Amino acid sequence: MPSIGVTGATGVVGGLVAHDLAGRGVPQRLLARTPTRVPNLPGAVPLACDYADPDGAREALEGVETLFMVSAAETADRVAVHRAFVDAAAAAGVQHVVYTSFAAAAPDCTFTLGRDHHATEEHLRASGMAWTFLRDNFYLDVLPLFAGDEGVLRGPAGDGRVAAVARADVARAATEVLLDPVAHAGRTYELTGPVAITLAEAAAVITEVTGRPTSFHDETIEEAYASRRRWEAPDWQYDAWVSTYTAIRSGELATVSDDVRLLTDREPLDLAAVLRGA
């Protein structure tokens, strides 16, 4: 049974990592709630594994030495779910966890969901397993989706800058760490794009590359909550949506790192390259 376990293989980042490892001829376990949905790859063994089922997760993880842990879906109890899964991994004998965290993760960071990542990092530090944290900035691939059908990036980001990163670069960086985990034990990598851009600049790039007119509207905090209440959601979700933009405005996500190039030996993609399908 392969000793590298990859979670999130039915998603974008986990799926890219699974394909990268398969392309290198590396055996792996693809761990998913619905294993029939994982990609059919040479050397890959699909197994059922649910973060919310610690006993089942422990069984699926037995024999795994290095685990790629993609953060779980956003829920009110995500920290508890993460902690239970980390405990299951430790009990199963996992030696090293590579975790997709978030840029500027801290107990009081502006982006409310970044606090979940900080709590998960702390639990991993105390787990007894080796760890590597990949602190991803916001994803470049997602920025155009924020514009919605109306073609407006709408939120209280002001002139703040965000060093957003391509999901493909995150996956490539993760693959390199998984191939030589000992060399990266105890390391935290800040994964960013090549530049930090404002949302007005992002809108201009989207317009130029796609031909779809896109603009940025700088909402007030009150406007941001009001515009999002057209969707029914719990309060923590509204806070997360709005703090996506206030985190950009705060400057916490503006630092550009060289870690993608350091890990992958290639320059990170910018927004235009992502939009062109690089």
Residue 162 CB neighbours (<10 A)? 29
End-to-end CA distance of the chain: 34
Right CATH number for 4-136+166-191+255-268 from 3.40.50.720, 3.40.630.30, 3.40.640.10, 3.30.70.120? 3.40.50.720
At which residue do the structure tokens 């503006």 appear? 254
At which residue do the structure tokens 């508890």 appear? 80
> Could you list the pLDDT tens digit for every one of the 278 residues in the chain?
779 999 999 999 999 999 999 999 999 999 999 999 999 999 999 999 999 999 999 999 999 999 999 999 899 999 999 999 999 999 999 999 999 999 999 999 999 999 999 999 999 999 999 999 999 999 999 999 999 889 999 999 999 999 999 999 999 999 999 999 999 999 999 999 999 999 999 999 999 999 999 999 999 999 999 999 999 999 999 999 999 999 999 999 999 999 999 999 999 999 999 999 96
Q: Are 30 and 18 in contact (CB under 8 A)?
A: yes
In the chain, domain spans: 4-136+166-191+255-268
In the numeric block, which tokens belong to residue 241? 């949506």
β-pairing, 28-32 vs 215-218, is: unpaired
Residue 246 CB neighbours (<10 A)? 20
